[in-house]
Amino acid sequence: MNNVIVYCEIEDGNIVDVSLELLTKGRSLADLLKVQLDAVIIGKELKGIEQQLYPFGVDNLYVADDPRLYPYQTLPHASIVSKLFEEIKPEIALFGATSIGRDLAPRIASALKCGLTADCTSLEIGEHEDKKKKKIYKDLLFQIRPAFGGNIIATIINPETRPQMATVREGVMKKEIKSMSYKGKRINLEVEKYVRGEDFVVRIIDRHIEKSKINIKNSQIIISGGYGVGSKENFDLLFELADVLGGEVGGSRAAVDAGYITHERQIGQTGITVRPKLYIACGISGAVQHRAGMDQSAMIISINKDPEAPINQIADYAIIGDIGTVLPKMIKYYKKNTK
């Protein structure tokens, strides 16, 4: 069997978190399948980049280093990855479900005519029996994701095509160094052989990437609001509690869609995945795509007027009440009884 490969993204000379998380997952999948872990990195000035990657257990690092290859552009990156995959025929290929990964992976899947599953929340190895064809497929990648607005959880497989491709959002997998002394092999790709002249037709005129100021992902306490919060103004209460407790404010997709809170604070399958010590869900009903982004929280407190809200079923504490009543009481008690 061939190897597992991870497409690694780079921003300002650093490999981004989601790529390191995928390398960690890729390493464990490779171990299960008894194959090697490969990585591909495309950009400019990539001297020494292997030092950031080897510790995550990368055996073979494919590098395409050319001034034209950073910042990211769809066509040259797609050409390089497609051609590389045709040569080394990976068993599994993983991409971050980022602006880049979600732009790139489908283009590659189309070129290679292989299956791609977006926004997986879990990746496992398993066996599949096709009863019609009377065929057993061993060691397939089970790509598990919520579907249909989060009302079902689907396990997707690609029995016949390779690589089995999947994208995963940042924060879904854990990032873990395998060994600081792990050593892989660097393979430099001759860029001219992988790109076409017409791949460089797009010109980047202007680019502003902000360092994410909001650090919801690493916050230990998250106060999150849903559509039930009722208005943008009512979110002020959540910000106040977060401020008092030293936490961050997040929101459900419904709250983002309603314009109560900005998109970068969205928690759930199509937003950020979090695992805080404490998650306070205010006026969130608990659709599964939201749950997918927060159910690993150590403690969940739900505040909801509806005792039947599904969120209550995964909560440690379900407060049946109005956030306008409950949050000020929490803030008041905390201010009075600490420091």
Partner 1 sequence: MKGYKIIVLAKQVPDTRNVGKDAMKANGTVNRAALPAIFNPEDLNALEQALRLKDRYPGTTVTLLTMGPGRAADIIREGLFRGADDGYLITDRKFAGSDTLATSYAISLAAKKLMPFDLIMCGRQAIDGDTAQVGPQVAEKIDIPQITYAEEIEKIEKGKITIKRRLERGVETVECPMPLLITVHGSAPDCRARNAKYLLRYKHAKTWTEMQQDTEDYLWLREDRPYLDIREWSVDDLSADETFLGLSGSPTKVKKVFNVVFTAKEAKVLGDTDAEMDDLMKELIENHNIG
CB 62 within 8 A of CB 189: yes
CB of 276 to partner 1, least distance (A): 10
CB of 59 to partner 1, least distance (A): 27
Q: Which stretch binds partner 1 (CB under 8 A): 24-32, 83-91, 175-183, 312-320?
A: 312-320
Q: Which of 78, 81, 93, 242 binds partner 1 (CB under 8 A)?
A: 78
Is residue 317 near partner 1 by the rule CB under 8 A?
Answer: yes
Residue 223 C-alpha from the chain's centroid? 21
CB of 250 to partner 1, least distance (A): 16
Token reading at 124: 């496992």
The full DSSP string for 282-295 is ES----HHHHTTTT
For residues 338 and 333, give the distance between their C-alpha atoms in angstroms, rounded to a whole number. Answer: 9
CB of 44 to partner 1, least distance (A): 17
Neighbouring residues of 319: CB distance < 8 A, sequence distance ≥ 6: 301, 302, 303, 304, 326
CB 15 within 8 A of CB 9: yes
Site for partner 1, residues 233 to 252, rule: CB under 8 A: 245
Site for partner 1, residues 38 to 67, rule: CB under 8 A: none
Interaction mask 263-292, partner 1, x per CB under 8 A: xx----xx------xx-------xxx--x-
Is residue 125 near partner 1 by the rule CB under 8 A?
Answer: no
Total of chain residues touching partner 1, rule CB under 8 A: 91
Is residue 22 near partner 1 by the rule CB under 8 A?
Answer: no
Is residue 116 near partner 1 by the rule CB under 8 A?
Answer: yes
Query: Which residue matches tokens 């159910």?
Result: 295
Instruction: Please return the burial class of 302, using the count of CB atoms within 10 Å of its CB with bins 0-12, 13-18 and 19+.
Output: buried
Is residue 232 near partner 1 by the rule CB under 8 A?
Answer: no
For residues 333 and 339, give the distance between their C-alpha atoms in angstroms, rounded to a whole number. Answer: 12
Q: Which stretch binds partner 1 (CB under 8 A): 42-50, 54-62, 96-104, 175-183?
A: 96-104
In the chain, the amino acid numbered 21 is: E
Q: Which of 154, 179, 185, 218 binds partner 1 (CB under 8 A)?
A: 154
